[in-house]
Structure 1
Amino acid sequence: IVDVVKKSTLFSQSEIPIPKMGGAKSESEAAASHCSSLWLAPDPSKRWGELFFLCYTPFWLTLCLGIVVPYKLYESFTELEYLVLGLISAVPSFLIPMLFVGKADSHMSWKDRYWVKASLWIIIFSYVGNYFWTHYFFTVLGASYTFPSWKMNNVPHTTFLLTHVCFLFYHVTSNITLRRLRHSVADLPEKVRRVTEAAWILILAYFIAYLETVAISNFPYYEFVDRASMYKVGSLFYAIYFIVSFPMFLRIDEKPGDSWELPRVAVDALGAAMLVTIILDLWRIFLGPIVPDSKQCLQPGLPWFPAHANET
């Protein structure tokens, strides 16, 4: 994985001059001006980080959906095996770039490297998603986890870990496609550009949400009361996550010379998470669940859900 990413990064940087005179362009600005790819980030560290996350994806995807699920290894899993599966999938996404530093990151402090910033953003966003939004899946969509697991707020620890690598892949894919789209419509009027980008975000968000729902349909211990409704309407509910997060995540270190610090990354992720929470709760209040009350999953839910309100 590291060799592939290094080669891609070195190729894009092979003819980048490093100015030495005062007042000249910085290294990152020079790299940005010489990056000819319409898909990859102009910032070398961001480019390396995105390529690494893409190259890492086949590892955990093959492990989970290519080995564990089709061979039904999960049938013999206990709480420990599920936790180990999550750790094996997620931990290398931190260890590999720590141990094998890309050339673009070799001269940078760890806190300035894009993969660190992207990981922090996704950690925060996916943590809020699991801890809070999973209960909207229980209540609004009639979903339930029935596999043995150690849990936090009635959500399996394994899902916290797997969501991290899933969301990294989704958001890097969004970055690359949005960047290419912006180049394609750069000569169009501003209103047309905005509408085109918004339409693409809606399409991509729904497609990814729908694809994930279908991809895990062969795993019998993540259940839905009405699977057909979940595919159509539930995927739109899930897509709300990405409709908010895709354009916000792209902004990290995207503009040359505008390097984000970790506190800014954290605040941005929390802001995105809060906006998603508001939209999901408005759905719960005004549109309600997609399954009848009698068929809703019996889960504790969140303190502001009706079941808890009736207890006080």
Structure 2
Amino acid sequence: MGKTKPQNGHKPDSSRGLKNIESFWLAPSPSKRWGELFFLAYSPVWIILCLGIIVPLGLYERFGKLEYFVLGLIVALPCFLLPLIIVSKEDKSKPWYSRYWAKANVWIGIFGFVGNYFWTHYFYTVLGATYTFPSWRLNNVPLTTYFLTHAYFLFYHMISNMTLRRLRHAIHNIPSRVLRLFIQSAWIFILSYLTAFMEALTIANFPYYQIVNREVFYKVGSLFYAMYFLVSFPMFSRVDEMLSNEWTISQTSIDSLGAAMLVTILLDLWRILIGPIVTMPNTQTYKQCLAYGLPWLA
């Protein structure tokens, strides 16, 4: 990490959050910097719990609806509760709703809820993937996934924030705005696809996430899933990125809903123009998924 220095007579573009920053990776806002580092520091805790202990040891075989629900709470609640208890010096002078961690939770919370409530049905009907573990459900989607998604997405978006910020520092002296935009877009696409692919791969050993054709799901389905992040990574990165423009909770909520609507349009265009990536099996599980699906997916 190094200090920003003007090169070749060019000054960093403050409109992209490059002014008065202490690191090429970290946010210029002290509150956002602390929030990003907090979420990154917490992520290994739930990752080890879920993917390092519960799945490898097969502890999920003993889980019922209550145990899965409690697991979701254990993973998600610290994202909200710990920053209330561990207040950074950067945030002590701010009300809780003005702190970055609160806005990040709101943005991801809304985006993740829409993703589970609506977009999971595209996994059922387009990608041929279903959840079969015991769980209380909302719109035929396990409640546990609503909670786990929150922690997953916070982790993904902190990585995206930092890498996008570092990339912008690396290319800010390139004169062509079009070329800078192309480079950033290419990175967002690569990161989105890798994120989707790696998530699918890491839960491959969990038998209660059934997939019709794993090879097609990993390669093509990951592209479908990546559309979530093609929209969310650049949009989420804008929250409190400029020191001179701190967002409100209301602005954060509206932005997240806008991102969710754009993803919904992209997913439905895939459904209409491309259709399912596999032939759906005629099983009771998939019939149930269709029966409890969304009206426009029927």
- 2:41 maps to 1:55: yes
- Once the two structures are TM-superposed, the CA of residue 239 in structure 1 deviates from its matched residue by 0.2
Q: Secondary structure at the match of 1:162?
A: helix
The corresponding residue for 1:305 is 297
- Once the two structures are TM-superposed, the CA of residue 35 in structure 1 deviates from its matched residue by 3.2
Unaligned 5+ runs, structure 1 = 1-11, 13-31, 307-312
Runs of 4+ in 1 over 2 A off after TM superposition: 32-36, 293-298
- AA aligned to 2:265 is I
50, 53, 56: which is aligned to 1:67?
A: 53
Q: Secondary structure at the match of 1:42?
A: coil
Q: Secondary structure at the match of 1:240?
A: helix
Does the 8 Å CA contact 1:69/1:219 hold for their aligned counterparts?
Answer: yes
244, 254, 279: which is aligned to 2:231?
A: 244
Task: State the superposition RMSD in angstroms.
Answer: 1.5
C-alpha separation in 2, matches of 1:161 and 1:106: 28
The corresponding residue for 1:231 is 218
- Once the two structures are TM-superposed, the CA of residue 60 in structure 1 deviates from its matched residue by 0.5
C-alpha separation in 1, matches of 2:233 and 2:81: 25
- AA aligned to 2:179 is V
84, 92, 103: which is aligned to 1:98?
A: 84
The two structures have a TM-score, normalised by structure 1, of: 0.87
C-alpha separation in 1, matches of 2:225 and 2:21: 35
- How many residue pairs get aligned? The number is 277
Q: Secondary structure at the match of 2:210?
A: strand
Q: Secondary structure at the match of 1:267?
A: helix
- Call closer, same or farther: CA 1:184–1:277 in 2, change over 3 Å: same
The corresponding residue for 1:128 is 114
Unaligned 5+ runs, structure 2 = 4-17
- AA aligned to 1:225 is V
Q: Secondary structure at the match of 1:107?
A: coil
C-alpha separation in 2, matches of 1:274 and 1:85: 29
- 2:70 maps to 1:84: yes
C-alpha separation in 2, matches of 1:113 and 1:295: 49
245, 248, 251: which is aligned to 1:261?
A: 248
The corresponding residue for 2:147 is 161
- AA aligned to 1:51 is L
The two structures have a TM-score, normalised by structure 2, of: 0.91
- Once the two structures are TM-superposed, the CA of residue 99 in structure 1 deviates from its matched residue by 0.8
C-alpha separation in 2, matches of 1:294 and 1:84: 32
- Once the two structures are TM-superposed, the CA of residue 294 in structure 1 deviates from its matched residue by 4.3
Does the 8 Å CA contact 2:212/2:280 hold for their aligned counterparts?
Answer: no
Cα offsets for 1:80-109 (capped at 9, x unmatched)? 000111111111111110011011101111
The corresponding residue for 2:98 is 112
- 2:268 maps to 1:281: yes
The corresponding residue for 1:24 is none
- 2:171 maps to 1:179: no
C-alpha separation in 1, matches of 2:247 and 2:196: 28
Does the 8 Å CA contact 1:53/1:169 hold for their aligned counterparts?
Answer: yes
Comparing 34-43 with 196-205, greater Cα deviation is found at 34-43
- Once the two structures are TM-superposed, the CA of residue 293 in structure 1 deviates from its matched residue by 4.0
C-alpha separation in 2, matches of 1:116 and 1:294: 43
Does the 8 Å CA contact 2:28/2:241 hold for their aligned counterparts?
Answer: yes
- 2:36 maps to 1:44: no
Q: Secondary structure at the match of 1:204?
A: helix
- Once the two structures are TM-superposed, the CA of residue 36 in structure 1 deviates from its matched residue by 2.2
C-alpha separation in 2, matches of 1:96 and 1:160: 19
173, 191, 209: which is aligned to 1:222?
A: 209
- Once the two structures are TM-superposed, the CA of residue 265 in structure 1 deviates from its matched residue by 0.3
Does the 8 Å CA contact 2:128/2:280 hold for their aligned counterparts?
Answer: no
- Call closer, same or farther: CA 1:295–1:242 in 2, change over 3 Å: farther
Does the 8 Å CA contact 1:85/1:158 hold for their aligned counterparts?
Answer: yes
Identity between Structure 1 and Structure 2 (%): 59
Correspondences of 1:28-39 after superposition (within 5 Å): 34-39=20-25
- AA aligned to 1:80 is L
224, 235, 257: which is aligned to 1:270?
A: 257
